Amino acid sequence: MSEQTPKPDTTHFGFRDVPKGEKRKLVGEVFSSVAGSYDLMNDLMSLGIHRVWKRYFTATAQVRRGDRVLDLAGGTGDIAALLRDRVGDSGTIVLGDINREMLRVGRDRMTDQGRISGFEYVQCNAESLPFPDASFDLVTIAFGLRNVTDKDAALREMLRVLKVGGQARVLEFSEVKADWFKPIYDFHSFNVLPKLGKLFANDSESYRYLAESIRKHPPQDELKQMMVEAGFARVDYKNLSAGICAIHTGYKV
């Protein structure tokens, strides 16, 4: 999945190596393109199961009423909406996303649902967060870490803005563990998904990149070690749906 290491001044953009400074622009173009069909994209990529994963991800998070939560790559607000009820009226959910179009979709969705109070919206880069140390009780990132250029920097920033005792949680597509399922999953990812993207969103290339980005994302044990090296304690992960995705958890001590 992440078997080929790019040159020091380059990084992965799907299966291509590109200059590090160019990846942010390319990823931004992808998500600006798919912002309006983001839920459809996740439905196509996960066969619709992403909604169940997100509910489990938020239901098992360490969060209480009155907490302040940062949801990175907050996109269209799915995670924020699920966490809002858990923090209650006295809590706050900060949606952070580097992409303005994704953030706009999330803000409009919350407004349309009558969810106005208790949310903040910040356009920010996960690698350099504009928040003071120890600002949040919980930091989450769902289906966004694989698109970050410097994942190690993002993990260190997540740790920095956490309060002592706080929890960080990463929900991300990962490495399928069932051998029998791998060829089925690969066929869906590289043959079916781009065609569905073309059919429903008139954008096959963005969907092709997203499938490739999953294969380049660090697999479960590698990401676990990255979190340990970033300074998190009690790091662990749980596979969902045979490893199609995984939840990684770490704490600040």
Q: Indicate the pTM of the whole model.
A: 0.86
Is 202 assigned to a binding site? no
pLDDT at 43: 79
Residue ranges per domain, the chain? 10-178+206-252
Is 191 assigned to a binding site? no
pLDDT digits (tens, 9 = 90+) for 179-222: 999 999 899 888 888 888 788 777 788 778 878 888 889 999 99
Is 201 assigned to a binding site? no
CA separation for the pair 26, 17 (Å, rounded): 12
pLDDT at 218: 94
CA separation for the pair 105, 161 (Å, rounded): 25
Is 239 assigned to a binding site? no
Average pLDDT over residues 51-74: 96
pLDDT at 204: 81
Fold (CATH) for 10-178+206-252: Rossmann fold (3.40.50)
